[in-house]
Amino acid sequence: MNSKKGHIVSSSTITPELVRLDTDFGETPGDVIGNLAKLVAGAGRTSEPSTLADAATAREEKAGTGVNGRVAIPHCRTSAVSEPTLAFARLSHAVDFAGPDGDAELVFLIAAPEGGGKEHLKILSKLARALVRSDFLDTLRNAATPEEVVAAVNVVLNAAPKEKKAAAADTAKKSATAGAAAGSTAVAGAPKTETPKPKKRIVAVTSCATGIAHTYMAADALEQAANKRNDVELRIEPQGSSGGEPVDPDFIASADAVIFAHDVAVRDRERFAGKPVVDSPVKRGINEPNIMIDEAIAAADNPNARRVPGGAAVESSGEAQGDVGWPKRIQQSIMTGVSYMVPFVAAGGLLLALGFLIGGYDVADGWQVIPLEYSPTNLPGNDVLIDGETVTFDRSGWALYMGAVLFAIGQLAMDFVVAALSGYIGYGIAGRPGIAPGFVGGAISVMVGAGFIGGLVTGLLAGFIAYWIGSWKVPRWLGSLMPVVIIPLLTSLAVGLLMFLLLGRPLGAIMTGLQGWLESMSGSSAVLLGVIIGLMMCFDLGGPVNKAAYLFGTAGLSAGTDAAYEIMAAVMISGMVPPIALSIATFLRAKLFTPAEQENGKSAWLLGLSFVSEGAIPFAAADPFRVIPSMMLGGAAAGATSMALGVGAKAPHGGIFVIFAYEPWWGLFIALAVGVVVATIAIIAAKQLWPNKAVEEAAQKADEAETAEVAVA
């Protein structure tokens, strides 16, 4: 064994030290997981059992991991382990893990290393698949020693996938031979035979949030159920973390129905467009495979059955859209658009800032001419002829030329921002057929001066129109052309006509009025705007409200006004506050935070300095009523201070690492310090005056563990 990142690396995924038979591990899933985590620590697989337990318990709270056979498989990915690890307990006192057939007697804790490769996850998926086999479960129930459990698990983990495929092929061959023999016998002997019904061809896709266990268990449960039937031919595509081969497109084209057993969005869902579909959570694929197959057969025979739209959306949240209402779906689609837009803003904005840094702030006057008229062998001087007039720049030579080139690249990237926002809102509603019309609508919005407001409107229009056209029932020969040609063509035409003939001018007037209002703000109005921006940035820490404030800030950058730069600075500075403040608070008063929060606090400050507000989400999720109001106070203070000092930022991202883009640069530090101090004091006071039960329980458990260790010593 050797050491790696503070953990002991073992050569085996499971060892006898990681197994307990006929033991009482407590009354709740959290108790069982905590005791299994201690086994992992005792075997030298982790030095952070509480972090491991917290991660697995958090996953358990989202959805119970109990499955058929009175088995539970709590699992997680965590930095607390550096190699795939299994711990097993056969409980003398069964515990409720929300399984379909009663409390769990057999419990595996599956721990995958954070960021581990696919080989790690393949090992764990093999175990998950074995848990739907009754012979394997019987072996675990009858094992007399931990060594027998380890041997049984290792047989599963070391089984070659080729053997399984060969066995399946052999079974199929025998079935075909038997069928042929039966057919020949019927012809030779029986006077009359009943023609067997053709098998229904069904495609199944399985996926779960972590992609470790449920994905593969559902796949195997459906496969085993189908193998015992004579009325279906089933092919499965598990979309898990360890990968999986896509189903043959020819089989999909000939399939009668589709089964989606999933907790996250189905990848490349448009492949199944127009097929009757049964859409359920992944656990149903594990617990009710036969029922789902029956439902798929019924859907195949029902002309009014629900069908996969002509390009279904995959939201930023990762959830399937089929079962959410339209208000939620619209919100998720806008979030999708913002999410895909951000890289354009970040790359373009940072390049603009670098252009200013290298070429000087007047480089914006020559970026369209200098990169085209000059070259590395023909560098510009201070005087450049632009549109027939001589313009004098502060810099010359390489500095002016490279600054203009960087600025040009950044400006061209920024020109895509509204189109990307619109295109991916359309994608969020209608899938791939909504992208092209959305981009077209966004480009028209820029042309008519409607800006990002127009982009929002055209994105929604493109998505809804494309979704509606995709629901048309068309002949099969036309179906293949719908998502590629027909839907984008008709939707682009509809969106373009609506913008030019009806919506473009009113939306342009709204955008012009908004920009004028921003430019007119000063004094106390600017401070009030800073307060509002700070509150929005810290309300949901990367959620819709935060993204709305960020979009508000970035939308004005292309205008190049002082007011726009000041709003961008307030957005970025207030968004940096929560992770930094929470990190400092965990250092100053560690006992007010859980061990998991203390661990998060070690790196949250860096996320804050990088303007990644999401670094505060683990704290807010665990304790929203104390964390969110405290962070909003800090954000409001930072935003107000930034606006009062007139701080401007010409970069849309990067936090403190683009300090050259702030003016005055010292205003960044003053506003950030004010916000961090206010937020830190507020969160410490809130947790001190309003104690957190989770923290008290964690502290009590730590004291008990310390007492036990002293007693043993």
Q: Please identify every residue annotated as catalytic.
A: 75, 208
The answer to whether 451 touches 555, Cβ cutoff 8 Å, is yes
* Spatial separation of the C-alpha atoms in residues 114 and 695, rounded to whole Å: 25
Distances (CA, A) of 559 to 8, 358, 562: 56, 21, 9
* Spatial separation of the C-alpha atoms in residues 228 and 374, rounded to whole Å: 74
* Spatial separation of the C-alpha atoms in residues 386 and 369, rounded to whole Å: 7
* Spatial separation of the C-alpha atoms in residues 34 and 49, rounded to whole Å: 8
* Spatial separation of the C-alpha atoms in residues 178 and 196, rounded to whole Å: 14
**What type of residue sits at position 362?**
D
* Spatial separation of the C-alpha atoms in residues 201 and 198, rounded to whole Å: 9
End-to-end CA distance of the chain: 26
Quote the tokens at residue 195. 């023609």
Distances (CA, A) of 267 to 88, 314, 331, 431: 33, 8, 21, 11
Residue 15 phi/psi, 5-degree rounding, is -130, 165
Calculate the CA 175 to chain-centre distance: 43
* Spatial separation of the C-alpha atoms in residues 499 and 662, rounded to whole Å: 37
HSE, CB side, 13 Å, CA atoms: give it for residue 665: 6
Q: Residues in the chain, how many?
A: 713
The answer to whether 613 touches 545, Cβ cutoff 8 Å, is no
The Cα angle at residue 454 between residues 313 and 448, in degrees rounded to 5: 135
Nearest partner of 616 among 540, 512, 560, judged by Cα: 540
Beta bridge partners of 108: 88
Nearby residues of 434 by Cβ (< 8 Å), 6 or more positions away:
311, 313, 423, 426, 427, 428, 462, 463, 466, 467, 491
* Spatial separation of the C-alpha atoms in residues 550 and 572, rounded to whole Å: 8
Quote the tokens at residue 544. 């819709």
Buried b (16+ CB within 10 A) or exposed e, 410-435: bbebbebbbbbbbbbbbbbbbbbbbb
Quote the tokens at residue 438. 């959305």
Radius of gyration, CA atoms only, the chain: 30
**What type of residue sits at position 689?**
L
Instruction: Please tell me what DSSP assigns to residue 269.
Output: G
Distances (CA, A) of 565 to 78, 446, 520: 40, 20, 14
Quote the tokens at residue 14. 């499971």
The sign of the torsion formed by the CA atoms of 573, 574, 579, 580 equals positive
* Spatial separation of the C-alpha atoms in residues 374 and 371, rounded to whole Å: 6
**What type of residue sits at position 700?**
Q
DSSP string, 479-517: HTTIIIIIHHHHHHHHHHHHIIIIIHHHHHHHHHHHHHH
* Spatial separation of the C-alpha atoms in residues 671 and 636, rounded to whole Å: 10
Helices and strands (H, E) in the chain, number of each type: 27, 16
The answer to whether 128 touches 208, Cβ cutoff 8 Å, is no
The answer to whether 370 touches 667, Cβ cutoff 8 Å, is no
